Amino acid sequence: MSIHPIYPEILSRLTSTSSSSRILDLGCGLGQDERKLMFDGVKPEKIVGVDISQGLINAGYDLFMDRGSKEEDIITFVKGDILVEDPLKWAEGKLAEGVEIVHVGAVFHLFEWEQQVVLASKLATLTSSKEDAVIFGYQFSSPNPGVHMLGPKKEAKVFGHDKGSWTKLWEEVGEATGTKWRIEILEVIPDRGLVTKGNWGFVNGRLMRFSVHKV
Ligand SMILES: C[S@@+](CC[C@H](N)C(=O)[O-])C[C@H]1O[C@@H](n2cnc3c(N)ncnc32)[C@H](O)[C@@H]1O
């Protein structure tokens, strides 16, 4: 998260004393980005990390050795499945009034188009009541938008985007949720090892850093 081009802007919003903005990190994994946000000055009560895997959240506590640390330093980590659950109900209602900032790193590319629409629609609903709502993150992308195979054995059928298809997805989500979104692609990186390492990524894949702003 911290190497995303809009991280300085996100940090400034989250640390501003005049703002009550909070951040949800969807698919937080080990929670390294939550710890980094706190290290960079964001109050832990403004940070919520959600992942489908309680095992990864627990492994994060073991890795960072901060389980049960001072109460004010405890970030909210929640086990949740964005495809089937209602994010407004996560964290004992902590998100019931919505959230201004969502990070979603390396999650969209795990799914096919229809699941991505579900995912994005839930994020749109979660943020829709907020001024200046922004959803940002990164994912594998492709100059050939469409169905791609992902994973070490290319076993997962997923949808890989370019800017055009990503914009179309958010148009579909906008129509379904009564919202409107402006898409920015901030970086498209041909190959920094992440994409081809272990033959994980798409053939001829890219790494795309995006932001999606509520209009
Ligand atoms: C590739 S990892 C990315 C982790 C982290 N965001 C990062 O950038 O390092 C994708 C994460 O999404 C989580 N995930 C997958 N499906 C999910 C779902 N339906 N709901 C919530 N989290 C999910 C996985 O458990 C995993 O931790």
Percent helix / strand / coil, the chain, rounded to 5: 35, 25, 40
Between the CA atoms of 58, 60, 63 and 66, what dihedral angle is there, to the nearest 10 degrees?
Answer: -80
Instruction: Give the pLDDT score at 137.
Output: 98
* Whether 41 and 122 share a structural domain: no
Closest CA to 180 of 122, 120, 128, 138: 128
Q: Whose CA is nearest to atom 27 of ligand 1?
A: 29
**Rounded Cα gap, residues 45 and 43, in angstroms:** 6
* Whether 122 and 60 share a structural domain: no
Q: Classify residue 117: in a domain, yes or no.
A: yes
Q: Classify residue 197: in a domain, yes or no.
A: yes
Q: Classify residue 133: in a domain, yes or no.
A: no
Q: Whose CA is nearest to atom 1 of ligand 1?
A: 106
Instruction: Give the pLDDT score at 194.
Output: 55
Instruction: Give the pLDDT score at 181.
Output: 97
CATH of residue 83's domain is 3.40.50.150
DSSP characters over 70-113: -GGGPPEEEE--TTTS-GGGTGGGTTTT--SEEEEES-GGGS-H
* Ligand 1 pocket member 51 (CB < 6 A): yes
Q: What is the mean pLDDT of each run of 10 residues along the chain (215 residues)?
A: 97 93 97 97 95 97 89 85 95 92 96 98 95 95 89 86 97 97 94 58 84 97
User: What is the domain count for the chain?
Assistant: 2
Which three-class secondary structure state does DSSP give residue 170?
helix
* Whether 3 and 97 share a structural domain: yes
Q: Classify residue 215: in a domain, yes or no.
A: no
* Whether 89 and 121 share a structural domain: no
Closest CA to 22 of 32, 8, 37, 35: 37
Domain around 156: 112-127+138-180+188-209
| Residue with the two structure tokens 């086990």 | 79
* Whether 92 and 162 share a structural domain: no
* Whether 90 and 121 share a structural domain: no
Separation of 80 CA from ligand 1 center, angstroms?
Answer: 10
Tell me the sheet residues that pair with 43: none
* Whether 19 and 89 share a structural domain: yes
* Whether 76 and 116 share a structural domain: no
Separation of 176 CA from ligand 1 center, angstroms?
Answer: 24
Closest CA to 206 of 154, 133, 138: 138
* Whether 84 and 22 share a structural domain: yes
Which three-class secondary structure state does DSSP give residue 190?
coil
* Whether 119 and 75 share a structural domain: no
* Ligand 1 pocket member 56 (CB < 6 A): yes
Among 2, 25, 37, 51, say which to mutate for ligand 1: greatest number of ligand atoms within 8 Å of CB: 51
* Whether 28 and 78 share a structural domain: yes
User: CA Rg, the chain, in Å?
Assistant: 17
Instruction: Give the pLDDT score at 10.
Output: 98
Q: Whose CA is nearest to atom 18 of ligand 1?
A: 81
Q: Classify residue 159: in a domain, yes or no.
A: yes
* Whether 146 and 100 share a structural domain: no
Separation of 171 CA from ligand 1 center, angstroms?
Answer: 24
